[in-house]
Chains A and B, each alone.
Chain A
């Protein structure tokens, strides 16, 4: 029975990372940008939740959503749009710089000492089935993750803006020649990324209630590895990759002998190396798929 509990724990963690990976994968799919500053969107939302402690929960979430989207749009307009034609290396370094800047601002404003968000803490309660314990948060993460992945997929497949995003991802110059307004498409992608980051934050907050300047970085780094492992080109493969990395991290911890847990990172990244050697295009991506949403 304990192995079933391990599975439940692993699904819980995997679901949280899947949501973060979906946001990273979407921006990469549209802009071909690996946004290393995606975690700082979660951080910005986290400090918003801290600052709004005492407000009604729904209002706090909406305020966090507004702040996260605003930060995402500022990031796009001020740092990334001017580099639209630059090489991936340049934009990658730019997002790294933006990440560092935002964390420095947070450190200056709130210090390195953590601040408590206190949001939806009741989701940490669990119900039991026999010896198994399932947190409501796990159910919420699976449901929200599934709904948002479905919504993003539908959006990309069934809406004009989604079609334009796919066209831009496939070939931006041709898409523009056909009348697609690239700026609108990219702004749309960043707004959706902001929504996804806020959703991830709301689900992380009950479990990780203390926000620090590195709050988002710690989450996003692992999610980014998951995106690469899953396959970067499609939101679905990126999401599954995020789930995989969280799932694997949790399972490895549970299965490693107690005295060997210090090697958790080694085991996890060893697994990542093996996966990438065997499936360099991504674990959840067909080898023939190339660069499109």
Chain B
């Protein structure tokens, strides 16, 4: 009986764990359930916020940017460097006189990626007078904060979400206040395909990680643009991080046939198993990866012919002196970046400043309208664009980087001709 009870208990724990896992990666839900119910209140709150911010604009109080972000959980490697870069940029802006005669103030609360803490952090920041809200770089984890931000009528920004879900496509009409400074997956997949074609590759194996919509979208965009340009995708070998399937990837790829390039859309730690397995199987085909392949902390020893697109080179050879200066400042601040994603924090502040200056206020709706009109806005991360439909950056120039013998070097700056259209 005792043993049977144990088995039942384990089964119950397993069911709960499976349920939690299913809830945790539901990026597939392109429509946020809560967004619909909050549409009315968001509109009301937005109009209310107009009055207060109109008053605020005339004051000399600091413009408060509140950040409900993760500094200790799984998103900390993304959020932490972005926050550090944002703080440096805030200091720079303030040293130059601020915005509309007001200083910027960056306040942050660590959400530890807990949904309740995330919601509470956003509420605390909003009630404490935040004029703009920053959130963590994963749309699912950020949703509790995003809902609070857009419901309060605030411009709500994630530094580096890469799907098109940061905006109306997920949050409905109130989502017009939500934006991401990250690269749009459809844009990033397109630039990888264009680079592959430019390198003379005409056939590809596409390997999407089904764990996240971002990975699926990048690989779909790669396929779409690659085929538009005359390339042939000979096989798609999907897998999912954390379910053990990556261990079989090398065999699957080797049996898929010979191609000029492999488009691999996944992230650490499983990217290490995937790339290592492919190379150990004797497959030397060039591998192309989006930003999730940035950094040298995961690479197999002596990795070669591995190309990735990113925001900035953290390997000492970025073509922009301004970027290298920011990296040096972060190193001085004890926050040396491991990937190029940090710069989205700086770009977020620059975009907010540009919007406030253009709108003449901190009203969320006015700022969102400015964001939607940005076309090639110059930032330290390159020129960025949004549209009423796409609230995640497109048109930015990517740093195309390649590992040879374990060393990453900058290749060229390249922007996609346009985001790819995916179904």
User: Could you tell me the distance in whole angstroms from the C-beta of B20 to the nearest C-beta in chain A?
Assistant: 12
The answer to whether A207 and B273 touch across the interface, beta carbons within 8 angstroms, is: yes
From B51-59, B156-164, B241-249, B364-372, the one touching the partner chain is: B241-249
B18 interfacial by beta-carbon distance below 8 Å: yes
User: Could you tell me the distance in whole angstroms from the C-beta of A273 to the nearest C-beta in chain B?
Assistant: 9
User: Count of A residues near B, CB < 8 Å?
Assistant: 59
Which B residues, 267 to 282, have Cβ-Cβ distances below 8 Å to chain A? 268-269, 272-273, 276-277, 280-282
A254 interfacial by beta-carbon distance below 8 Å: yes
The answer to whether B2 and A88 touch across the interface, beta carbons within 8 angstroms, is: yes
The answer to whether B301 and A280 touch across the interface, beta carbons within 8 angstroms, is: no
User: Could you tell me the distance in whole angstroms from the C-beta of A175 to the nearest C-beta in chain B?
Assistant: 17
Q: Which of B240, B244, B247, B281 contacts A126 (CB 8 A)?
A: B281
List B contacts of A5 (CB < 8 A): 251, 255
User: Count of B residues near A, CB < 8 Å?
Assistant: 52
The answer to whether A114 and B244 touch across the interface, beta carbons within 8 angstroms, is: no
List A contacts of B237 (CB < 8 A): 258
A-B contact count (CB 8 A): 146
The answer to whether B280 and A290 touch across the interface, beta carbons within 8 angstroms, is: no
Q: Which of B18, B245, B276 contacts A124 (CB 8 A)?
A: B276
Q: A118-B301, A126-B280, A135-B280 are in contact. Are A207 and B77 (CB under 8 A)?
A: no
Closest Cβ neighbor of B268 among chain A residues: A114
The answer to whether B248 and A9 touch across the interface, beta carbons within 8 angstroms, is: yes
A107 interfacial by beta-carbon distance below 8 Å: yes
CA distance A171 to B11 in the complex (A): 25
From B67-75, B88-96, B410-418, the one touching the partner chain is: B67-75
Which A residues, 244 to 288, have Cβ-Cβ distances below 8 Å to chain B? 246, 249-250, 253-254, 258-259, 261-262, 264-265, 269, 276, 280
CA distance A209 to B303 in the complex (A): 13
Q: Which of B6, B245, B251, B268 contacts A34 (CB 8 A)?
A: B6
List A contacts of B382 (CB < 8 A): none
The answer to whether B76 and A261 touch across the interface, beta carbons within 8 angstroms, is: no
Q: Which of A125, A211, A225, A280 contacts B14 (CB 8 A)?
A: A225
Residues on A facing B (Cβ under 8 Å): 2, 5-6, 9, 12-13, 32, 34, 36, 88-89, 92, 96, 107-108, 111-116, 118, 121, 124-126, 133, 135, 207-212, 215, 218, 221-222, 224-225, 228, 232-233, 246, 249-250, 253-254, 258-259, 261-262, 264-265, 269, 276, 280, 290-291
